[in-house]
């Protein structure tokens, strides 16, 4: 716009005088951003109508818009803005996106006020730039940023990303944080990292005595530390002491005094970092020289996660394998096998190293113990948390066959009935598992006779991730876009004659689109049911199958994963089971031929191979 036009606008609306600089920036070719309508570019100014002519992304129509409306609604973007550069220098920007994610963030921060941006500001900008790619890209980019000394990465969501004036070396950054932090546990973790630099970085060597003294006081005086934190800190302190040639036996507290003073060793073990669990077991043998086997067996019985495997390996390495095997058999007979031990036996049942420990364990009784543990966990659970043992049973296609190898029809039927009554499985998972029973014992088929499938037909099977994305979209519609649209309609209505009002027409069209999308999301989410695709079979196509298809028309092989209703990504070989091809393949077996017709084009596909996605993705 020329000076005369701007003067006229301000004369009509004196309040706009404070926005003169922004009006002067509204020149042909300038890029702009509207929170609801997105990225746009000013094409020209119609002086006769007093309107800016603006084109927005995805809309080929040029819209005449009142400059006074634009002052409040549009953000004018400088040439250095990353969204502008994505248009003016697309090749360079895409190269950074794909190969140098940290450089892209540095580039954005370098043009931000004070070289600082909040996490929300940065993520919103990158979302506009990358679209659907953002979530996966940002997950990887943050790992690069954590190692990039140019950027101060926030420890909390409320803290900003800051581009440093001078990059810090990793050890300097950790050292600086060690001296600043007042969190006792974090100080121990930072001291551990600093110790890893000792001997190789001169600056750290000089600071080690001070680090040692600070850490020693921290362990002794900090009341917030748990027993596990304090024991962890003692070991880090002792490593530093040995490096400084100090006598660790004279330092208090000692690992022995902490262990002897702990009333709950299993809980202590579970709270320790995984890389210190073996060290803990070594200390136990010294603290309890006459009874360490019994102490560690008790730790094993009450263990979970990686510590279970650590206890078993430690005992086997110490020549106590027979004792472990005897405990396994006794706990099975007593029906006291814990989930972590059950999982360990499942995963190691074919292991050469542990063959003697699990010998005779894979039996119908063991399957009954699995069902009992799953049902018990489901009864105690207060949320929708996945049951790991149930997933393990479903994900291992050979496990039920292995456990039922010596079963008779009556035993198998009893166990199948136990499965149907178990509260720890979803209905589809039960049916998938029951099918494995039926393949081994066909008489069990009567357990599922006459069951209706009408309810399933109305259900949309979806992945957890896709449902979360739908929920986020819905929340943004309801909380941000629809309220913004209402304001835009009201503002545009005030501009005059609605028949000639492009802003009003645009806002009303957007309202129709937003409300229609809201209604669709509500309907779809009410019908959705989460699946992790572990119910898929290896012999028939279902939701969660990976199929290899021969296309007769193109004479080519194709490979697709048939996943949830909202998971389609053909470029990556992922199709929704609701697509025409997906629906045609449901229930088919290798060798079957299916045909699809899309817009009059008929395709013929031969099913050559079926795999389970939960296995292929590993």
User: Residue 518: which CATH number?
Assistant: 1.10.287.180
- Domain contains 126: yes
**For residues 340 and 6, what is the distance between their CA atoms, to the nearest angstrom?**
74
DSSP code per residue over 90-108 = HHHHHHHHHH-HHHHHHHH
Of 77, 97, 116, which residue sits at a domain end? 77
Q: Is 531 a residue whose pLDDT tops 80?
A: yes
Same domain flag for 160 and 204: no
**For residues 307 and 355, what is the distance between their CA atoms, to the nearest angstrom?**
20
For the chain, what percent of residues have pLDDT higher than 70?
Answer: 94
Q: Is 223 a residue whose pLDDT tops 90?
A: no
Residue 323 contacts residue 354 (beta carbons within 8 Å)? no
pLDDT band for position 529 (50/70/90)? Answer: confident
pLDDT digits (tens, 9 = 90+) for 27-75: 999 999 887 788 899 999 998 888 999 998 877 778 898 998 888 888 8
User: Residue 58: which CATH number?
Assistant: 2.30.30.140
How would you classify the pairing of strands 38-46 and 51-56? antiparallel
Chain mean pLDDT for the chain: 86
Residue 181: is the preceding peptide bond cis (ω within 30°)?
Answer: no
Count of structural domains within the chain? 6
Of 59, 77, 95, which residue sits at a domain end? 77
Per DSSP, helices labelled H in 163-273 are 170-180, 184-197, 202-221, 227-243, 255-260, 265-271
**For residues 251 and 236, what is the distance between their CA atoms, to the nearest angstrom?**
12
- From the CB of residue 47, how many other CB atoms can be counted at a distance below 10 Å? 12
pLDDT band for position 452 (50/70/90)? Answer: very low
549: β partners: 558, 607
- Domain contains 65: yes
Residue 360: per-residue pLDDT: 86
For residues 526 and 84, the model is more confident at 84
Question: Closest Cα partner for 308 from 288, 327, 286?
Answer: 327
- Domain contains 383: yes
524: tokens are: 């779809």
Q: Mean pLDDT lowest for which of 49-63, 535-549, 581-595?
A: 49-63
Q: Mean pLDDT lowest for which of 118-127, 166-175, 498-507?
A: 498-507
Residue 366 contacts residue 328 (beta carbons within 8 Å)? no
pTM of the model: 0.51
- Domain contains 277: no
- Domain contains 353: no
- Domain contains 302: no
Residue 200: per-residue pLDDT: 66
Question: Closest Cα partner for 311 from 272, 369, 350, 349?
Answer: 272
Residue 321: per-residue pLDDT: 93
Same domain flag for 525 and 560: no
For the chain, what percent of residues have pLDDT higher than 90?
Answer: 40
**Quick one: CA dihedral 87, 92, 95, 99, positive or negative?**
negative
**Chain centre to alpha carbon of residue 372:** 30
- Domain contains 303: no
**For residues 441 and 407, what is the distance between their CA atoms, to the nearest angstrom?**
10
Q: Is 601 a residue whose pLDDT tops 50?
A: yes
Angle at 460 between CA 458 and CA 463, to 5 degrees: 160
**For residues 150 and 138, what is the distance between their CA atoms, to the nearest angstrom?**
18
DSSP code per residue over 516-566 = HHHHHHHHHHHHEEE--STT--SSS--TTEEEEEEETTTTEEEEEEEE-TT
- Domain contains 346: no
Q: List the domain range (segments joined by +) for residue 581.
A: 545-616
DSSP code per residue over 307-339 = HHHHHHHHHHHTT-HHHHHHHHHHHHHHT---H
Q: Is 454 a residue whose pLDDT tops 70?
A: no
How would you classify the pairing of strands 556-563 and 574-576? parallel
């Amino acid at each position: 716009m020329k000076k005369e036009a701007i003067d006229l606008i301000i004369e009509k609306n004196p309040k706009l005088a404070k926005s003169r600089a922004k009006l002067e920036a509204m020149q042909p070719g300038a890029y702009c951003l509207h929170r609801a309508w997105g990225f746009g570019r000013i094409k020209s100014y119609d002086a006769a109508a007093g309107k800016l002519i603006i084109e927005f992304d995805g809309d080929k129509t040029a819209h005449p818009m009142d400059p006074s409306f634009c002052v409040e609604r549009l953000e004018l973007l400088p040439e250095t803005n990353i969204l502008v550069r994505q248009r003016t220098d697309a090749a360079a920007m895409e190269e950074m996106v794909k190969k140098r994610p940290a450089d892209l963030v540095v580039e954005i921060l370098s043009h931000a006020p004070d070289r600082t941006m909040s996490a929300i500001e940065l993520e919103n900008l990158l979302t506009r730039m990358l679209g659907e790619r953002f979530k996966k890209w940002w997950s990887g980019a943050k790992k690069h940023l954590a190692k990039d000394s140019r950027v101060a990465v926030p420890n909390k969501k409320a803290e900003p990303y800051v581009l440093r004036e001078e990059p810090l070396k990793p050890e300097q950054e950790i050292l600086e944080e060690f001296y600043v932090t007042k969190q006792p546990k974090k100080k121990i973790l930072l001291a551990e990292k600093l110790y890893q630099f000792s001997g190789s970085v001169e600056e750290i060597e000089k600071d080690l005595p001070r680090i040692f003294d600070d850490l020693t006081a921290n362990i002794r005086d900090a009341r917030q530390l748990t027993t596990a934190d304090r024991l962890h800190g003692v070991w880090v302190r002792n490593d530093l002491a040995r490096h400084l040639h100090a006598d660790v036996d004279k330092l208090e507290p000692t690992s022995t005094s902490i262990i002897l003073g702990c009333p709950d060793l299993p809980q202590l073990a579970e709270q320790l970092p995984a890389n210190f669990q073996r060290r803990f077991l070594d200390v136990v043998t010294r603290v309890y020289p006459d009874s360490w086997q019994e102490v560690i067996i008790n730790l094993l019985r009450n263990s979970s996660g990686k510590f279970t495997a650590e206890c078993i390996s430690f005992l086997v390495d110490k020549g106590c394998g027979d004792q472990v095997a005897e405990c396994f058999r006794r706990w099975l007979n007593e029906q006291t096998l814990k989930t972590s031990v059950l999982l360990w036996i499942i995963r190691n049942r074919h292991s050469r190293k542990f063959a003697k420990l699990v010998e005779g364990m894979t039996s119908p009784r063991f399957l009954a113990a699995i069902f009992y543990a799953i049902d018990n966990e489901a009864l105690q659970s207060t949320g929708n948390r996945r049951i790991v043992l149930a997933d393990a049973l479903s994900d291992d296609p050979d496990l039920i066959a292995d456990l039922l190898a010596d079963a008779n029809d009556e035993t198998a039927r009893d166990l199948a009935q136990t499965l149907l009554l178990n509260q720890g499985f979803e209905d589809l998972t039960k049916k998938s598992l029951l099918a494995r029973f039926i393949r081994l014992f066909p008489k069990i088929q009567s357990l599922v006779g006459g069951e209706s499938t009408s309810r399933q037909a109305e259900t949309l099977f979806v992945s957890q991730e896709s449902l979360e994305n739908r929920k986020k979209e819905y929340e943004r519609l309801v909380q941000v876009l629809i309220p913004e649209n209402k304001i835009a309609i009201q503002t545009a209505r005030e501009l005059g004659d609605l028949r000639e009002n492009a802003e009003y027409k645009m806002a009303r069209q957007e309202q129709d689109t937003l409300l229609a999308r809201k209604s669709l999301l509500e309907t779809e989410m009410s019908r959705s049911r989460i699946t992790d695709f572990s119910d898929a079979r290896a012999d028939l196509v279902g939701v969660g199958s990976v199929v290899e298809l021969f296309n007769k028309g193109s004479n080519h092989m194709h490979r697709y994963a048939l996943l949830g209703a909202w998971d389609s990504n053909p470029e990556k070989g992922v199709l929704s089971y609701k697509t025409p091809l997906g629906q045609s393949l449901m229930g088919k077996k290798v060798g079957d031929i299916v045909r699809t017709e899309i817009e009059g084009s008929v395709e013929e596909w031969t099913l050559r191979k079926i795999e389970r996605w939960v296995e292929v993705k590993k």
